[in-house]
Structure 1
Amino acid sequence: MYLIEWGLWKLCTESEVERSATEAETNSDKHISDVYETELDEEMHFKRVSKSPRTRGPVFAINDTFLEMRCGASEEKRGLITIATLGGILPMLLTITFGAIAFLYLDIKDPSAISFTSALTTIVMTLLDITLIYLYFRYGFQLTRLEIFTSRHLLIRFNRKTQQVHLHRPQYCGGIVTLPWKSTGSTATYPEDDSLSHGMRLGLVWHPSRTGLPHMESALLGKQGQGGSELRDEWEFIRRYMEEGPDAIPRPRLSTQLPSPIQAFSAQFEGMSRFLRNSSWLFKVILLMVWPAFVILGTAHWVSLMLCWRPRWPKVIREAGLPGKPVPPLTTLADYPPDVQERLLANADRWQLKPGKRPEKEPRSPHARSAKNEARS
């Protein structure tokens, strides 16, 4: 499910009318938290952050040239749109379509039996069918393709020979981009953030001030964390691969890009194994009572994988790092269509850095505020 990636790209490419409507609904023109120059300088570094580099996958390929992993924000929820589409929308469209065709067939087969009522019914059924099909492809298909009839996975490829990072996404989620490795920021660099990692994925960001693009790029990697230092371990795994090579990290187990039922059913429990081990017996009994829901969602997840196709990199990226092959050019604003360029530039102010350092917040408690003032004096 590419809902978050789709939403972020829409945020980057909103038209003036859409942005005004969004700001009117939220009663604010600030959608993105302010980022200060000093914060970006402090948080974006390539120092060692863990003594135990490891990845929880899925890793699709690793060699001396590149490391390829799955990315995407909501794999554990994949299957919900498939259920809605295959269980609700498509049956309704097919029923109305076959009904309209049946009425037309009867009128053509026996013209003498045509009456005003039957002719009116045929016209109404046909118009209703055309209207519903139009509304689905105009408004509904953009949601359907977030999960089925699209690329099977979002991919990220780290090429250590060219020192580049490649993101593979559908066009409606930002498309395929090439970014410099040294402009990569990570959400897992400090131990004090470990408590926030439960249920989260490793986030990588590329700020416009480092890439030259007018918008922010981001990717959420692998599986959900279970707290502790898992996300820092995963970032350290990637960092060491890019900085030191594959010999500096443990060999990961490779996953398949085929539509595996194991991946489909296990995704529902990402980030929960530690919680389930420590949960009470009552909670485990409740889980046993709702197991049919997990079976339905897992089956829908598997179906969605089978109704998608394996993503394929452009030739220049597949050959990047090989002897005598060209280095892929970094993505620039000129790589986008003119209308997309215009919208990206119109929303560039969302990502501007604030100068200096973030001001300290005033304590809410009067006692804490007085203590802070005494410390200052």
Structure 2
Amino acid sequence: MYFFEWGCWQMHLDPEDAQKNHKTLDRKIETKRNTHYESEDDEEQAASCQCVSQTPHSRGPIYVLNDTLLEMRCGIGEAKRGLVSIITLGILLITTKSTIAAATFSLQAAGHSQNPDTASWGALFPATFFTSIAVTITWFYFRYGFRFSRLEMFTSRHLLIRFNRKTQQVYLHRPSYCGGIMTLPWKGVTSSGAGERYSIAGGVGVPLFLYWSARVTDTLHPVSVWVGKAGNNQAELRDEWEFIRRFMDEGPQSLPRPRITSHFPWPWQAFTPQFEGLTQYFRHASRGIKVGLLLIWPAFVIIGLGHWASLLLCWKPRWPKLIRQAGLPGKPVPPQTTLASYPAHIQERLRANAHLWAVRPGKRPEKKPKTGARKQT
């Protein structure tokens, strides 16, 4: 589930040696440098301040909504959550069975060794064999596989985004290996729901996208986050963004009251995300596709069970005390996350990659027309 956030964070921290070994690095750097200018960033921020919908509506999940706070689920890939859990549980099952078999044969070998008249070789070999399997799998899993299991198991149950209209700040709750908890300014955010011009894939199959450029974050790298459920069309994302914008700029009084979702891992929370952003597709799909979907329903059940297992093996995310009290009378305003908020080794790697995310000054230069003379035949 956290693959995208983990990949983005690793990309920000990609060491220089690894960059030099990448054959297409120079081309990617040049492409990145030429894709964002200050004028474009200003236009996107201005567009995000405008009203884009007369029907603000949030499809959730929303965990907190009051006069001060709006807290929602964020992250992309919620529908795919469960795949890693299934593989992890399979590995744990094999390891457990091997351990039980090794213990059983070891006890038999120990019992035979106490009786001189009975040979213990028949139990000693399988005991050694199953012990070797259990130890080998356990070592490889904790050495190479556990980091991937933690992308959806043994970690925070959800990625969260909290909007605080009193402090005019946005807080991100993520594990440390995905960037950690961050405090960002509300002013300066851009959104894929600000209009058709900024939409991603027409809003189909992706959640609302929020973005803070490197010139806004003061951390030498941009921050991106996917908010809420995957959309069926761009209109849903515009309604979602207008709901958030009006909450932060005007308050919740004029907004429709959404359903508040519990953090408790109910089973239906594991199955419904598989169908987010697919309502329109299912509705207009041909009869053959609908029949095919009915035939593969066991796959949806298996993924859903893996999703539920991952929810049960995770814990409810908890905000730091400073953020929980933000906006209350007499309580301090959390400081914005800056480069100095990270450990020294993280700061060093962010500085090394700062040129990748720097916003170019001024406007994008106009493309020169191609004036190549045709060859005479």
- Answer whether TM exceeds 0.5 for this pair: yes
Structure 2 residue runs without a partner (length 5+): 372-377
Which residue in the other structure is 1:351 paired with? Answer: 357
Contact 1:57 1:70 in 2 (8 A): yes
Contact 1:191 1:229 in 2 (8 A): no
Please state how far the C-alpha of 1:356 moved relative to its aligned partner: 3.1
Please state how far the C-alpha of 1:320 moved relative to its aligned partner: 0.8
Which residue in the other structure is 2:41 paired with? Answer: 40
Which residue in the other structure is 2:19 paired with? Answer: 19
Amino acid paired to 1:140: G
Which residue in the other structure is 2:374 paired with? Answer: none
Which residue in the other structure is 2:28 paired with? Answer: 30
Q: CA RMSD in A?
A: 2.4
Equivalent residue pairs, number: 362
TM-score by length of 2: 0.89
For residues 64-143 of structure 1, the aligned pairs below 5 Å read 64-86=67-89, 88-111=90-113, 113=119, 125-143=130-148
User: Alignment partner of 2:28: what SS?
Assistant: coil
TM-score by length of 1: 0.89
User: Alignment partner of 2:305: what SS?
Assistant: helix
Amino acid paired to 2:219: L
Q: Per-residue displacement from partner, 1:166-197 (whole Å, max 9, x unpaired)?
A: 00011111111111111222122123455621
* Percent identity (aligned): 51
Question: How far apart, CA to CA, are the structure 2 residues paired with 1:30 and 1:96?
Answer: 47
Question: How far apart, CA to CA, are the structure 2 residues paired with 1:331 and 1:150?
Answer: 22
Structure 1 residue runs without a partner (length 5+): 364-368, 371-377
Which residue in the other structure is 2:375 paired with? Answer: none
Amino acid paired to 2:290: K
Q: Per-residue displacement from partner, 1:59-78 (whole Å, max 9, x unpaired)?
A: 11100111000001001111
Q: Which moved more, 1:289-298 or 1:56-65?
A: 289-298
Which residue in the other structure is 1:162 paired with? Answer: 167
Assess, with a 3 A threshold, how the Cα gap between structure 1 residues 361 and 298 changes in structure 2: closer, same or farther.
Answer: farther
Please state how far the C-alpha of 1:107 moved relative to its aligned partner: 4.0
User: Alignment partner of 1:342: what SS?
Assistant: helix
User: Alignment partner of 1:182: what SS?
Assistant: coil
Which residue in the other structure is 1:270 paired with? Answer: 276
Question: How far apart, CA to CA, are the structure 1 residues paired with 2:37 and 2:106?
Answer: 66
For residues 1-377 of structure 1, the aligned pairs below 5 Å read 1-21=1-21, 23-24=22-23, 26=24, 28=26, 30=28, 33=32, 34-45=35-46, 46-86=49-89, 88-111=90-113, 113=119, 125-193=130-198, 196-359=202-365
Amino acid paired to 2:28: K
Question: How far apart, CA to CA, are the structure 1 residues paired with 2:126 and 2:184?
Answer: 58
User: Alignment partner of 1:340: what SS?
Assistant: helix
Question: How far apart, CA to CA, are the structure 1 residues paired with 2:292 and 2:126?
Answer: 50
Contact 1:162 1:320 in 2 (8 A): yes
Please state how far the C-alpha of 1:248 moved relative to its aligned partner: 2.8
